Amino acid sequence: MISSSLIYAIIILTVMAFTAIGVIYSRGKFESLDDFVTARGTAGTKILSTTFLASFLGVFILFTPPEAGSIGGITTIIGYALGLASLYIAFMILSPKIRNYLPKGSTLNDFARKRYGKKMYLLVLLLSIFYMFVHLVAELTAISLVAYELAGIPLIFTALFVGVGTMIYIAYGGLRASMFTDMIQMVFVLVLLLVTTVGVVYYLGGIGNMITLSTENAPELFDFRNLGGIEFGLTLGIAVFVANLFHQGYWQRVYSGKNDRSIRKSLIFSIIIAVPVMLLTGFFGILSTGLGFGENPSVALFSLVYGIFPRGLIILVFILALVLVMSTVDTLLNGMVATFSANSRGILKDMETRSLLRFARALTLVIILPATLIAAQGYSVLYLFLVADLLCAGVVFPLFYGLFNKYVTENTALLASLLGIASGIPFFMADRLLVSFTLPIVISGAVTLMGTAYGKKQLAKNS
Protein backbone atom coordinates (compact mmCIF):
# COMPACT_ATOMS: atom_id res chain seq x y z
CA MET A 1 0.00 0.00 0.00
CA ILE A 2 1.25 3.49 -0.87
CA SER A 3 1.94 5.90 1.99
CA SER A 4 -1.25 7.62 3.09
CA SER A 5 0.62 10.86 3.77
CA LEU A 6 1.74 10.96 0.13
CA ILE A 7 -1.81 10.47 -1.17
CA TYR A 8 -3.11 13.12 1.26
CA ALA A 9 -0.48 15.54 -0.08
CA ILE A 10 -1.35 14.77 -3.71
CA ILE A 11 -5.05 15.35 -3.12
CA ILE A 12 -4.47 18.63 -1.30
CA LEU A 13 -1.92 20.07 -3.76
CA THR A 14 -3.80 19.03 -6.91
CA VAL A 15 -7.12 20.40 -5.74
CA MET A 16 -5.55 23.65 -4.54
CA ALA A 17 -3.72 24.12 -7.86
CA PHE A 18 -6.85 23.81 -10.00
CA THR A 19 -8.88 25.89 -7.60
CA ALA A 20 -6.32 28.68 -7.97
CA ILE A 21 -6.27 28.33 -11.78
CA GLY A 22 -10.07 28.57 -11.99
CA VAL A 23 -10.28 31.61 -9.71
CA ILE A 24 -7.41 33.51 -11.36
CA TYR A 25 -8.67 32.93 -14.91
CA SER A 26 -12.25 33.99 -14.23
CA ARG A 27 -11.40 37.16 -12.31
CA GLY A 28 -13.33 40.05 -13.88
CA LYS A 29 -14.69 37.87 -16.69
CA PHE A 30 -18.40 38.32 -15.99
CA GLU A 31 -20.82 40.93 -14.75
CA SER A 32 -24.22 39.26 -14.97
CA LEU A 33 -25.95 36.04 -13.98
CA ASP A 34 -26.21 35.10 -17.66
CA ASP A 35 -22.42 35.35 -18.01
CA PHE A 36 -22.06 33.19 -14.93
CA VAL A 37 -24.31 30.34 -16.08
CA THR A 38 -24.03 30.29 -19.89
CA ALA A 39 -21.13 32.42 -21.24
CA ARG A 40 -23.54 32.81 -24.15
CA GLY A 41 -22.18 32.77 -27.70
CA THR A 42 -18.51 33.00 -26.68
CA ALA A 43 -17.11 29.52 -27.41
CA GLY A 44 -15.65 28.47 -30.76
CA THR A 45 -15.01 24.96 -32.06
CA LYS A 46 -11.71 24.46 -30.24
CA ILE A 47 -12.86 25.22 -26.73
CA LEU A 48 -16.25 23.56 -27.32
CA SER A 49 -14.53 20.35 -28.44
CA THR A 50 -12.32 20.17 -25.38
CA THR A 51 -15.06 21.11 -22.93
CA PHE A 52 -17.56 18.65 -24.45
CA LEU A 53 -14.97 15.89 -24.28
CA ALA A 54 -13.79 16.70 -20.77
CA SER A 55 -17.37 16.97 -19.54
CA PHE A 56 -18.77 13.93 -21.36
CA LEU A 57 -15.80 11.73 -20.54
CA GLY A 58 -14.28 13.07 -17.36
CA VAL A 59 -13.76 10.55 -14.64
CA PHE A 60 -16.78 8.61 -15.94
CA ILE A 61 -14.53 7.06 -18.58
CA LEU A 62 -12.21 5.66 -15.91
CA PHE A 63 -14.89 3.95 -13.84
CA THR A 64 -18.16 3.04 -15.54
CA PRO A 65 -16.86 1.49 -18.81
CA PRO A 66 -14.24 -0.58 -16.93
CA GLU A 67 -16.89 -1.64 -14.41
CA ALA A 68 -19.24 -2.53 -17.25
CA GLY A 69 -16.49 -4.46 -19.04
CA SER A 70 -15.52 -6.36 -15.93
CA ILE A 71 -19.14 -7.46 -15.47
CA GLY A 72 -20.44 -8.01 -19.01
CA GLY A 73 -17.42 -8.26 -21.26
CA ILE A 74 -16.74 -7.09 -24.82
CA THR A 75 -20.37 -7.00 -26.00
CA THR A 76 -21.33 -4.81 -23.08
CA ILE A 77 -18.63 -2.28 -23.91
CA ILE A 78 -19.63 -2.15 -27.59
CA GLY A 79 -23.26 -1.47 -26.63
CA TYR A 80 -22.19 1.21 -24.17
CA ALA A 81 -19.99 2.93 -26.78
CA LEU A 82 -22.78 2.90 -29.37
CA GLY A 83 -25.04 4.57 -26.82
CA LEU A 84 -22.48 7.33 -26.32
CA ALA A 85 -22.10 7.86 -30.08
CA SER A 86 -25.89 8.07 -30.43
CA LEU A 87 -25.95 10.69 -27.70
CA TYR A 88 -23.57 12.98 -29.60
CA ILE A 89 -25.63 12.53 -32.76
CA ALA A 90 -28.79 13.40 -30.83
CA PHE A 91 -27.19 16.62 -29.61
CA MET A 92 -26.27 17.47 -33.22
CA ILE A 93 -29.93 17.11 -34.21
CA LEU A 94 -31.52 18.71 -31.15
CA SER A 95 -29.11 21.56 -30.41
CA PRO A 96 -29.95 23.78 -33.42
CA LYS A 97 -33.66 23.23 -32.89
CA ILE A 98 -33.53 24.10 -29.20
CA ARG A 99 -31.36 27.18 -29.81
CA ASN A 100 -33.65 28.35 -32.59
CA TYR A 101 -36.81 27.72 -30.56
CA LEU A 102 -35.44 29.43 -27.45
CA PRO A 103 -32.46 31.70 -28.30
CA LYS A 104 -32.25 33.24 -24.82
CA GLY A 105 -32.55 30.01 -22.88
CA SER A 106 -29.88 28.56 -20.63
CA THR A 107 -31.13 25.12 -19.58
CA LEU A 108 -33.41 22.37 -20.88
CA ASN A 109 -35.98 23.42 -18.30
CA ASP A 110 -36.46 26.71 -20.15
CA PHE A 111 -37.52 24.73 -23.21
CA ALA A 112 -39.93 22.57 -21.18
CA ARG A 113 -41.57 25.67 -19.69
CA LYS A 114 -42.02 27.48 -23.00
CA ARG A 115 -43.09 24.45 -25.05
CA TYR A 116 -45.41 22.81 -22.52
CA GLY A 117 -46.07 24.77 -19.33
CA LYS A 118 -45.54 24.71 -15.59
CA LYS A 119 -46.35 21.05 -14.88
CA MET A 120 -44.02 19.58 -17.46
CA TYR A 121 -41.43 22.19 -16.58
CA LEU A 122 -41.53 21.14 -12.92
CA LEU A 123 -41.13 17.46 -13.82
CA VAL A 124 -38.12 18.16 -16.06
CA LEU A 125 -36.64 20.50 -13.43
CA LEU A 126 -36.86 17.88 -10.66
CA LEU A 127 -35.61 15.13 -12.95
CA SER A 128 -32.58 17.07 -14.19
CA ILE A 129 -31.61 18.12 -10.67
CA PHE A 130 -31.94 14.55 -9.40
CA TYR A 131 -29.91 13.16 -12.30
CA MET A 132 -27.09 15.68 -11.92
CA PHE A 133 -26.99 15.23 -8.15
CA VAL A 134 -26.71 11.44 -8.45
CA HIS A 135 -24.05 11.90 -11.14
CA LEU A 136 -22.15 14.22 -8.79
CA VAL A 137 -22.32 11.66 -5.98
CA ALA A 138 -21.09 8.93 -8.34
CA GLU A 139 -18.04 10.96 -9.41
CA LEU A 140 -17.04 11.80 -5.84
CA THR A 141 -17.63 8.18 -4.82
CA ALA A 142 -15.38 6.93 -7.60
CA ILE A 143 -12.29 8.96 -6.74
CA SER A 144 -12.83 8.36 -3.02
CA LEU A 145 -12.83 4.59 -3.61
CA VAL A 146 -9.57 4.85 -5.55
CA ALA A 147 -7.85 6.83 -2.77
CA TYR A 148 -9.10 4.26 -0.27
CA GLU A 149 -7.79 1.37 -2.41
CA LEU A 150 -4.37 3.01 -2.77
CA ALA A 151 -3.69 4.17 0.77
CA GLY A 152 -6.71 3.62 2.99
CA ILE A 153 -7.75 7.31 2.79
CA PRO A 154 -11.18 7.76 4.42
CA LEU A 155 -13.87 8.22 1.76
CA ILE A 156 -15.23 11.33 3.44
CA PHE A 157 -11.89 13.17 3.24
CA THR A 158 -11.40 12.71 -0.50
CA ALA A 159 -15.04 13.44 -1.33
CA LEU A 160 -15.16 16.55 0.85
CA PHE A 161 -11.81 18.03 -0.20
CA VAL A 162 -12.35 17.48 -3.92
CA GLY A 163 -15.95 18.67 -3.69
CA VAL A 164 -15.22 21.83 -1.72
CA GLY A 165 -12.15 22.74 -3.79
CA THR A 166 -14.12 22.47 -7.03
CA MET A 167 -17.00 24.35 -5.45
CA ILE A 168 -14.73 27.32 -4.68
CA TYR A 169 -13.65 28.04 -8.24
CA ILE A 170 -17.08 27.30 -9.71
CA ALA A 171 -18.75 29.56 -7.15
CA TYR A 172 -16.32 32.30 -8.16
CA GLY A 173 -15.96 31.80 -11.91
CA GLY A 174 -19.07 29.97 -13.11
CA LEU A 175 -19.15 28.34 -16.53
CA ARG A 176 -16.14 30.24 -17.86
CA ALA A 177 -13.94 28.78 -15.11
CA SER A 178 -15.35 25.32 -15.81
CA MET A 179 -14.69 25.55 -19.55
CA PHE A 180 -11.17 26.93 -19.13
CA THR A 181 -10.13 24.23 -16.67
CA ASP A 182 -11.73 21.66 -19.01
CA MET A 183 -9.18 22.63 -21.68
CA ILE A 184 -6.30 21.94 -19.29
CA GLN A 185 -7.90 18.79 -17.94
CA MET A 186 -8.41 17.38 -21.44
CA VAL A 187 -4.63 17.35 -21.86
CA PHE A 188 -4.45 15.29 -18.67
CA VAL A 189 -7.01 12.86 -20.14
CA LEU A 190 -4.82 12.18 -23.15
CA VAL A 191 -1.69 11.77 -21.02
CA LEU A 192 -3.51 9.43 -18.65
CA LEU A 193 -4.77 7.19 -21.45
CA LEU A 194 -1.35 7.10 -23.12
CA VAL A 195 0.47 6.23 -19.89
CA THR A 196 -2.07 3.58 -18.91
CA THR A 197 -2.20 1.94 -22.34
CA VAL A 198 1.56 1.80 -22.82
CA GLY A 199 2.07 0.65 -19.23
CA VAL A 200 -0.52 -2.14 -19.40
CA VAL A 201 0.86 -3.48 -22.70
CA TYR A 202 4.46 -3.30 -21.46
CA TYR A 203 4.00 -4.81 -18.00
CA LEU A 204 1.73 -7.60 -19.24
CA GLY A 205 4.16 -8.68 -21.94
CA GLY A 206 2.39 -7.46 -25.04
CA ILE A 207 -1.14 -7.42 -26.42
CA GLY A 208 -1.16 -11.07 -27.43
CA ASN A 209 0.00 -12.30 -24.04
CA MET A 210 -2.48 -10.25 -22.01
CA ILE A 211 -5.43 -11.31 -24.20
CA THR A 212 -4.35 -14.97 -23.98
CA LEU A 213 -4.11 -14.85 -20.18
CA SER A 214 -7.44 -13.04 -19.82
CA THR A 215 -9.24 -15.40 -22.20
CA GLU A 216 -8.02 -18.43 -20.29
CA ASN A 217 -9.30 -17.06 -16.97
CA ALA A 218 -12.56 -15.44 -18.13
CA PRO A 219 -13.48 -16.64 -21.66
CA GLU A 220 -17.09 -15.46 -21.31
CA LEU A 221 -15.94 -11.83 -21.26
CA PHE A 222 -14.54 -12.20 -24.81
CA ASP A 223 -17.52 -14.16 -26.18
CA PHE A 224 -19.60 -12.20 -28.71
CA ARG A 225 -22.45 -14.68 -28.14
CA ASN A 226 -22.61 -13.89 -24.43
CA LEU A 227 -26.33 -13.08 -24.13
CA GLY A 228 -25.92 -11.59 -20.68
CA GLY A 229 -23.24 -9.23 -21.95
CA ILE A 230 -25.32 -8.24 -24.98
CA GLU A 231 -28.34 -7.49 -22.80
CA PHE A 232 -26.26 -5.46 -20.36
CA GLY A 233 -24.64 -3.56 -23.25
CA LEU A 234 -28.03 -2.63 -24.70
CA THR A 235 -29.17 -1.50 -21.26
CA LEU A 236 -26.15 0.74 -20.74
CA GLY A 237 -26.37 2.11 -24.29
CA ILE A 238 -29.97 3.19 -23.70
CA ALA A 239 -29.13 4.51 -20.25
CA VAL A 240 -26.22 6.73 -21.30
CA PHE A 241 -28.25 8.07 -24.23
CA VAL A 242 -31.44 9.06 -22.42
CA ALA A 243 -29.89 10.32 -19.20
CA ASN A 244 -27.27 12.65 -20.60
CA LEU A 245 -29.89 14.52 -22.61
CA PHE A 246 -31.02 15.86 -19.22
CA HIS A 247 -27.53 16.96 -18.18
CA GLN A 248 -27.85 20.75 -17.92
CA GLY A 249 -24.08 21.19 -18.08
CA TYR A 250 -24.16 20.04 -21.69
CA TRP A 251 -27.05 22.35 -22.60
CA GLN A 252 -25.09 25.24 -21.06
CA ARG A 253 -22.29 24.45 -23.47
CA VAL A 254 -24.73 24.31 -26.35
CA TYR A 255 -25.80 27.87 -25.54
CA SER A 256 -22.19 28.96 -25.07
CA GLY A 257 -21.36 28.01 -28.68
CA LYS A 258 -20.83 30.83 -31.17
CA ASN A 259 -23.04 29.15 -33.76
CA ASP A 260 -24.57 25.83 -34.83
CA ARG A 261 -21.61 25.03 -37.06
CA SER A 262 -19.17 25.26 -34.13
CA ILE A 263 -21.35 23.00 -32.04
CA ARG A 264 -21.74 20.42 -34.81
CA LYS A 265 -18.00 20.28 -35.54
CA SER A 266 -17.15 19.94 -31.85
CA LEU A 267 -19.64 17.07 -31.45
CA ILE A 268 -18.26 15.23 -34.50
CA PHE A 269 -14.76 15.60 -33.06
CA SER A 270 -16.07 14.28 -29.74
CA ILE A 271 -17.45 11.13 -31.39
CA ILE A 272 -14.12 10.45 -33.12
CA ILE A 273 -12.25 10.67 -29.80
CA ALA A 274 -14.77 9.49 -27.21
CA VAL A 275 -15.94 6.20 -28.71
CA PRO A 276 -12.44 4.63 -29.10
CA VAL A 277 -11.51 5.91 -25.63
CA MET A 278 -14.59 4.27 -24.15
CA LEU A 279 -13.80 0.97 -25.88
CA LEU A 280 -10.23 1.15 -24.62
CA THR A 281 -11.05 1.80 -20.96
CA GLY A 282 -13.79 -0.81 -21.06
CA PHE A 283 -11.21 -3.30 -22.30
CA PHE A 284 -9.05 -2.47 -19.29
CA GLY A 285 -11.95 -3.55 -17.09
CA ILE A 286 -12.15 -6.87 -18.95
CA LEU A 287 -8.40 -7.38 -18.46
CA SER A 288 -8.67 -6.55 -14.77
CA THR A 289 -11.25 -9.27 -14.18
CA GLY A 290 -9.62 -11.72 -16.57
CA LEU A 291 -6.27 -11.39 -14.78
CA GLY A 292 -7.81 -11.66 -11.32
CA PHE A 293 -7.46 -8.03 -10.22
CA GLY A 294 -11.12 -6.92 -10.44
CA GLU A 295 -12.47 -7.83 -7.01
CA ASN A 296 -14.27 -4.47 -6.85
CA PRO A 297 -15.68 -3.71 -10.34
CA SER A 298 -16.20 -0.04 -9.42
CA VAL A 299 -12.43 0.48 -9.49
CA ALA A 300 -11.51 -2.24 -12.01
CA LEU A 301 -9.09 -0.09 -14.00
CA PHE A 302 -7.27 1.08 -10.89
CA SER A 303 -7.11 -2.45 -9.50
CA LEU A 304 -5.33 -3.43 -12.71
CA VAL A 305 -2.95 -0.46 -12.50
CA TYR A 306 -2.28 -1.09 -8.81
CA GLY A 307 -1.58 -4.76 -9.52
CA ILE A 308 0.99 -4.36 -12.31
CA PHE A 309 2.42 -0.81 -12.31
CA PRO A 310 5.41 0.41 -10.29
CA ARG A 311 4.77 2.92 -7.52
CA GLY A 312 5.66 6.02 -9.55
CA LEU A 313 3.23 5.23 -12.37
CA ILE A 314 0.45 4.40 -9.92
CA ILE A 315 0.84 7.85 -8.37
CA LEU A 316 0.85 9.53 -11.80
CA VAL A 317 -2.36 7.75 -12.81
CA PHE A 318 -3.99 8.78 -9.54
CA ILE A 319 -3.08 12.45 -10.08
CA LEU A 320 -4.50 12.39 -13.59
CA ALA A 321 -7.68 10.72 -12.36
CA LEU A 322 -8.03 13.34 -9.64
CA VAL A 323 -7.85 16.10 -12.23
CA LEU A 324 -10.49 14.35 -14.32
CA VAL A 325 -12.82 14.15 -11.34
CA MET A 326 -12.61 17.89 -10.86
CA SER A 327 -13.40 18.39 -14.54
CA THR A 328 -16.63 16.42 -14.26
CA VAL A 329 -17.60 17.74 -10.84
CA ASP A 330 -17.25 21.37 -11.91
CA THR A 331 -19.52 20.72 -14.92
CA LEU A 332 -22.16 19.13 -12.70
CA LEU A 333 -21.97 21.81 -10.03
CA ASN A 334 -22.27 24.60 -12.57
CA GLY A 335 -25.11 22.81 -14.33
CA MET A 336 -27.04 22.46 -11.08
CA VAL A 337 -26.36 26.05 -10.07
CA ALA A 338 -27.50 27.23 -13.50
CA THR A 339 -30.68 25.19 -13.11
CA PHE A 340 -31.44 26.58 -9.66
CA SER A 341 -30.52 30.18 -10.39
CA ALA A 342 -32.18 30.37 -13.80
CA ASN A 343 -35.38 29.02 -12.33
CA SER A 344 -35.23 31.32 -9.32
CA ARG A 345 -35.35 34.43 -11.49
CA GLY A 346 -39.11 34.24 -11.64
CA ILE A 347 -39.38 33.96 -7.85
CA LEU A 348 -36.60 36.44 -7.09
CA LYS A 349 -37.36 38.82 -9.97
CA ASP A 350 -36.88 41.91 -7.80
CA MET A 351 -33.42 40.83 -6.71
CA GLU A 352 -30.49 42.77 -8.18
CA THR A 353 -27.91 41.07 -10.41
CA ARG A 354 -25.21 41.13 -7.72
CA SER A 355 -27.58 39.54 -5.22
CA LEU A 356 -28.56 36.87 -7.76
CA LEU A 357 -24.90 36.07 -8.29
CA ARG A 358 -24.39 35.70 -4.53
CA PHE A 359 -27.43 33.44 -4.41
CA ALA A 360 -26.04 31.28 -7.25
CA ARG A 361 -22.69 30.99 -5.50
CA ALA A 362 -24.24 30.05 -2.18
CA LEU A 363 -26.11 27.22 -3.90
CA THR A 364 -22.84 25.45 -4.70
CA LEU A 365 -22.18 25.00 -0.98
CA VAL A 366 -25.70 23.73 -0.38
CA ILE A 367 -25.27 21.17 -3.16
CA ILE A 368 -21.80 19.86 -2.39
CA LEU A 369 -22.19 19.04 1.31
CA PRO A 370 -24.93 16.36 1.05
CA ALA A 371 -23.25 14.97 -2.09
CA THR A 372 -19.99 14.36 -0.20
CA LEU A 373 -21.80 12.70 2.69
CA ILE A 374 -23.55 10.23 0.36
CA ALA A 375 -20.32 9.66 -1.61
CA ALA A 376 -18.62 8.60 1.63
CA GLN A 377 -20.89 5.53 1.74
CA GLY A 378 -19.01 3.95 -1.20
CA TYR A 379 -21.93 2.68 -3.29
CA SER A 380 -21.40 1.08 -6.73
CA VAL A 381 -20.64 3.87 -9.21
CA LEU A 382 -22.46 2.14 -12.07
CA TYR A 383 -25.52 1.41 -9.94
CA LEU A 384 -25.75 5.06 -8.91
CA PHE A 385 -25.80 6.09 -12.57
CA LEU A 386 -28.47 3.51 -13.40
CA VAL A 387 -30.84 4.77 -10.70
CA ALA A 388 -30.85 8.24 -12.24
CA ASP A 389 -30.89 6.95 -15.82
CA LEU A 390 -34.08 4.96 -15.22
CA LEU A 391 -36.20 8.04 -14.55
CA CYS A 392 -34.90 9.82 -17.64
CA ALA A 393 -35.96 6.91 -19.88
CA GLY A 394 -39.63 7.63 -19.23
CA VAL A 395 -39.47 11.33 -20.06
CA VAL A 396 -37.10 11.59 -23.02
CA PHE A 397 -39.58 10.84 -25.84
CA PRO A 398 -42.52 12.98 -24.66
CA LEU A 399 -40.23 15.94 -23.94
CA PHE A 400 -38.30 16.08 -27.22
CA TYR A 401 -41.10 14.92 -29.50
CA GLY A 402 -42.68 18.31 -28.89
CA LEU A 403 -39.88 19.84 -30.96
CA PHE A 404 -41.10 17.95 -34.02
CA ASN A 405 -44.88 17.87 -33.50
CA LYS A 406 -46.86 20.94 -32.52
CA TYR A 407 -49.89 18.90 -31.47
CA VAL A 408 -48.26 17.39 -28.36
CA THR A 409 -50.01 18.97 -25.38
CA GLU A 410 -48.67 19.37 -21.86
CA ASN A 411 -51.19 16.92 -20.40
CA THR A 412 -50.27 14.29 -22.99
CA ALA A 413 -46.53 14.71 -22.37
CA LEU A 414 -46.95 14.69 -18.60
CA LEU A 415 -49.18 11.58 -18.55
CA ALA A 416 -46.87 9.74 -20.95
CA SER A 417 -43.82 10.61 -18.83
CA LEU A 418 -45.34 9.51 -15.53
CA LEU A 419 -46.64 6.24 -16.98
CA GLY A 420 -43.27 5.63 -18.58
CA ILE A 421 -41.38 6.13 -15.31
CA ALA A 422 -43.84 4.00 -13.35
CA SER A 423 -43.61 1.12 -15.84
CA GLY A 424 -39.87 0.68 -15.40
CA ILE A 425 -39.51 0.80 -11.62
CA PRO A 426 -40.85 -2.73 -10.79
CA PHE A 427 -38.53 -4.34 -13.36
CA PHE A 428 -35.55 -2.34 -12.12
CA MET A 429 -36.22 -3.52 -8.57
CA ALA A 430 -36.45 -7.10 -9.89
CA ASP A 431 -33.04 -6.63 -11.58
CA ARG A 432 -34.46 -6.98 -15.09
CA LEU A 433 -32.49 -4.02 -16.34
CA LEU A 434 -33.06 -4.13 -20.09
CA VAL A 435 -36.83 -4.33 -19.67
CA SER A 436 -36.73 -1.56 -17.06
CA PHE A 437 -35.06 0.82 -19.55
CA THR A 438 -36.86 -0.13 -22.78
CA LEU A 439 -40.40 -0.37 -21.40
CA PRO A 440 -40.54 3.27 -20.21
CA ILE A 441 -39.50 4.46 -23.68
CA VAL A 442 -42.08 2.22 -25.38
CA ILE A 443 -44.91 3.12 -22.99
CA SER A 444 -44.22 6.87 -22.95
CA GLY A 445 -43.77 6.88 -26.73
CA ALA A 446 -47.02 5.00 -27.36
CA VAL A 447 -49.02 7.22 -25.01
CA THR A 448 -47.52 10.35 -26.58
CA LEU A 449 -48.35 9.25 -30.13
CA MET A 450 -51.89 8.17 -29.23
CA GLY A 451 -52.56 11.33 -27.26
CA THR A 452 -51.21 13.50 -30.06
CA ALA A 453 -53.30 11.71 -32.69
CA TYR A 454 -56.43 12.07 -30.54
CA GLY A 455 -55.75 15.76 -29.86
CA LYS A 456 -55.17 16.46 -33.55
CA LYS A 457 -58.43 14.68 -34.42
CA GLN A 458 -60.39 16.66 -31.82
CA LEU A 459 -58.86 19.90 -33.07
CA ALA A 460 -59.92 19.07 -36.63
CA LYS A 461 -63.46 18.32 -35.46
CA ASN A 462 -63.79 21.62 -33.64
CA SER A 463 -62.43 23.71 -36.49
What's the whole-model pTM score? 0.79
- Displacement of CA 233 from its chain's centroid (Å): 17
Nearest CA among 440, 368, 398, 364 for reference residue 123: 398
> What is d(CA 26, CA 182) in angstroms, rounded to the nearest whole number?
13
CA separation (Å) from 373 to 160, 209, 219, 331? Answer: 8, 43, 39, 19
Helix, strand, coil content of the chain in percent (nearest 5): 85, 0, 15
The confidence score (pLDDT) of residue 448 equals 95
The confidence score (pLDDT) of residue 86 equals 92
The confidence score (pLDDT) of residue 299 equals 79
The confidence score (pLDDT) of residue 211 equals 85
Mean pLDDT for back-to-back runs of 10 residues, the chain (463 residues): 86 86 61 52 68 67 84 91 90 90 80 90 86 83 86 91 80 61 70 86 87 85 86 89 82 79 87 88 90 78 86 86 79 71 53 58 76 84 78 92 91 94 92 92 95 80 68
The confidence score (pLDDT) of residue 396 equals 93
The confidence score (pLDDT) of residue 387 equals 80
The confidence score (pLDDT) of residue 347 equals 46
- Domains in the chain, start-ordered, CATH in brackets? 4-382 (1.20.1730.10), 394-463 (no CATH)
Total length of the chain: 463
